[in-house]
Amino acid sequence: MPISKKSSCHRDSQVCEIFTGDMGDDKPPPSEGPTSTAPPSTHRVDADEGRPSGSQEETAGGAGPSQPHQEPSEGDKRKEAPVFRFPQGNWSTQEQYYAKVFVVSGYIPLPGSRSGTWDPEAGAWQPSYIPLFEDRRTRKGFVEKVMGLVLLQLLITVGACALFRYWEPLLVAVQDNTWVFFLLWAISFVAVLALANSPRMRRTHPYNYMTWIIFTLSFALIVGTITSLYRTELLLMALGLTAAAVAFIFLIAAATDFDFTQAGSLLYVMGFVFLIMIIIGVFTPSNVYYLVISAVAAVLFSSYLLYDLQAIMGGRTVELSPDDYVYAAVQVYLDVVVLFVSLLNILALAEGAAE
């Protein structure tokens, strides 16, 4: 319920400041007959009858003079506070209004309540805006840290590509020693497994950064080796297509209400099928089949990127912890780079321009 105004109430000559929500049509109507001088705060919720008690009608019917009011302690208030049964019970319209004011203001502590505001319309406690604001701030910092690490990884990868392209002795050394290429693949694979399966490796400093550096350097050298086989024009075209695709996927992840993290099981199955296709491709040397594999990879890793971005942004079925910033950066980096390589391979196979 949105906070609309700030008002004050009187309780035994003591002023208490409360926040009242937008009451809509629930304003207290003019009372019929003599106006009651009792302050609205004399209404409290009765646990047995589900209605306010302690009104003037109850005290006036007593045999003796009314006893002076004694301010209840915090413990008594909590004992008196039942589950709010509004609008059930024998309530007058004016009593309903004042009861709503006190419950919305948080004056009546309900059992089991932590932080938040009671919403009489919804019949439930709404979480306080303060924890939500802090969570948004934490999530924003988490997203910024992840994107900063991804940007740094991409810059390192661009540097590795330039190194392999313009320093021929390095390229020749890797091509003459193919075991180096496969060793880099093994190092990258082990680093990803360590981050995925070991909370200590992905959340504890400096292990997470050490693993991040090892993975980034090894995978950047792999990408540099691969891109050295293609013309510069194709590299620029693939880079432009990748940038456009990533921007579009980011907008979808941020703007849509659809929860793509619910499709995690489907993405796992698709990844397993893709792995089988790669194994078959090893024994099926066909450019057409390679083109199909590249197209499937582009679609699959675009879906992975959408899934990972929503998990990073939070508010979905699956969301990453703020301590998983290194693991999240590796995930996004892998999605973007594999998408780039897939588009590059599609362009090369379509034009027959691989060198």
Q: What is d(CA 110, CA 83) in angstroms, rounded to the nearest whole number? A: 6
Q: Are residues 26 and 62 in the same domain?
A: yes
Q: Are residues 187 and 301 in the same domain?
A: yes
Q: Are residues 192 and 281 in the same domain?
A: yes
Nearest to 227 by CA among 215, 219, 235: 235
> What pLDDT score does 187 carry?
92
Q: Are residues 265 and 304 in the same domain?
A: yes
> What pLDDT score does 22 carry?
42
Please identify, among 96, 127, 158, the residue that sits at the C-terminal boundary of a domain.
127
> What pLDDT score does 155 carry?
94
> What pLDDT score does 301 carry?
93
Question: Dihedral angle at the C-alpha atoms of 94, 96, 100, 103, nearest 10 degrees?
Answer: 120
Please identify, among 112, 127, 142, the residue that sits at the C-terminal boundary of a domain.
127
Q: Is the pTM of this model over 0.85?
A: no
Low-confidence residues of the chain: pLDDT under 70: 1-135, 353-355
> What pLDDT score does 146 carry?
92
Determine the distance from the C-alpha atom of residue 287 to the mean position of all C-alpha atoms in its chain, rounded to a whole number. Answer: 41
Q: Are residues 217 and 261 in the same domain?
A: yes
Q: Are residues 123 and 137 in the same domain?
A: no
Please count the structural domains in the chain. 2
Q: Are residues 260 and 112 in the same domain?
A: no
> What pLDDT score does 125 carry?
54
Q: What is d(CA 347, CA 235) in angstroms, rounded to the nearest whole number? A: 9
Q: Are residues 72 and 198 in the same domain?
A: no
Domain with 279, as residue range(s), is: 133-351
Interhelix angle 287-313/325-351, nearest 10 degrees? 150
Q: What is d(CA 240, CA 102) in angstroms, rounded to the nearest whole number? A: 59
Q: Are residues 153 and 89 in the same domain?
A: no
Q: Are residues 214 and 344 in the same domain?
A: yes
Q: Are residues 195 and 101 in the same domain?
A: no
Q: What is d(CA 272, CA 216) in angstroms, rounded to the nearest whole number? A: 24
Please identify, among 127, 158, 178, the residue that sits at the C-terminal boundary of a domain.
127
> What pLDDT score does 60 carry?
44
Helix (H, G, I), strand (E, B) or coil at 283: coil
Q: Are residues 191 and 316 in the same domain?
A: yes
